[in-house]
Structure 1
Amino acid sequence: MGMDTTIEQPTQARLVTGEGREVPVRAVLRYTANDPLAVFLDFPAEAALHGEEITWTFARSLLDQGLRAPAGHGDVQIWPYGRTRVVLELHSPHGMALMLFQATALRRFLVRTYGMVACGREDVSAVVERGLSALFGGV
C-alpha cells in the first residue's frame, strides 16, 4: 500500500486523581482510514488499573465538538478546560477517569485525520457493512 492508512500520535495526558492531583500518563491517539468515523485512544499497561493496555474508542465528531464546547454523554465526554487544555471524562464499569490533554495536541491530531479522510467523506457504507456482518456472523 502506497499510502499509510493509520495515524498514531503519542501524547502526554494528565490523570486527575480523586484528591485533585495530576498524574502524568502517556497515551497514543490513533486514527485509521478503515474506521473513519472513530478515533482511538490507547493507554499503555502502566496507566491502566489492571496492568493491561486499554483502548477507548469514540466518534471523531465528538472530539471535534469537544474542543470547542462540552460534548458527549455516556461513556465519553469532552469539554474545553481553560484556554489551553481539554478534559476527557471516561466512564467504565470500574469507575470514572478525568484526563487532561493539551488542546493543541488534540487539534493537531484532528487536522491530520481530516488530511487523511475529509469530514463528510467517510465511507460509512463499508463500516456499516462490516458492523452488520459482525452482528450477523458474516465473514
Structure 2
Amino acid sequence: MFVDGRVARRVSACMRIRVRVSGIDTTPDATATLVYDPADPLMLRMVLNEQEANAWHIGRDLLADGLGGHSGYGDVRVWPLSTTAGDVVNVVLATPEDPDYWALLEFPAPEVRRFLNRAYRQVPRGIEADLINLDGLVARLLTETP
C-alpha cells in the first residue's frame, strides 16, 4: 500500500501491562502487542500474551483520543490516568451480553504514544478512508462463513 509515494508499513509494539478482571481479586501482569496494519487503516489489533485467541480490534483514533481524555463508549472505553508509577492509558473491554464482566488493561502511556506516532507516520490521520478497498471488503463479507 502506497501513501504519499512510499510504502506504508506495518507497525507493532510489545509492552507490559496491568490487567484487572471483574470478579477476580488478583490477576498477573501481562504482555500486550499493539499492531497497526495499513491494510486495515482505521483499526489496530491488540494481542494479549501472544495469544491470537486473546486479540481485540479497536479504533486507532479511539486509543489516540484516550491519551488526552475519555474516549469511546459501550464495550471499549479509554482514558488517561496519572499514577505513582507513571502515566497510563486505561482500556476497558466489556461484553454487551454481560455488563458486569469486564477487563481493565493499564498500558504505559509513553509506550502507547510512541507506537501511535509510528502508526500515524505510516498513515496520517484523516486519510484512512481513502485507503479502504470497499469492493474487496464487500466481497470478503459476502464469502465469509460464520
Q: TM-score range by the shorter chain?
A: 0.7 to 0.9
What SS is found at the alignment partner of 1:136? Answer: helix
1:86 touches 1:103 (CA, 8 Å); kept in 2? yes
Distance 2:8 2:130 in 1: 20
Deviations along 1:26-77, one digit per CA (max 9) or x if unpaired, are 110000010111011011367xxxxx73211011110111111111012211
Higher RCO (Cα < 8 Å, 6 or more apart): 2
Distance 1:125 1:34 in 2: 8
Distance 1:131 1:3 in 2: 21
1:35 touches 1:127 (CA, 8 Å); kept in 2? no
Match of 2:134 in 1: 128
Distance 1:65 1:123 in 2: 18
Distance 1:113 1:13 in 2: 20
- Aligned positions of 1:1-139 closer than 5 A: 3=7, 5-18=9-22, 21=26, 23-44=28-49, 53-82=53-82, 84-92=87-95, 93=97, 95-124=101-130, 126-137=132-143
CA RMSD in angstroms, aligned pairs only: 2.7
2:33 touches 2:50 (CA, 8 Å); kept in 1? no
Q: 1:125 to 1:137 in 2, by over 3 A?
A: farther
Q: 1:107 to 1:136 in 2, by over 3 A?
A: same
1:5 touches 1:34 (CA, 8 Å); kept in 2? no
The two structures have a TM-score, normalised by structure 1, of 0.81
What SS is found at the alignment partner of 1:5? Answer: coil
**1:86 corresponds to which letter in structure 2?**
V
Aligned pairs, how many?
133
How much does 1:131 deviate? 2.6
Q: Which has the higher strand share?
A: 2
1:13 touches 1:27 (CA, 8 Å); kept in 2? yes
Q: Where does the alignment leave 5 or more consecutive residues of structure 2 unmatched? A: none
Distance 1:8 1:120 in 2: 21
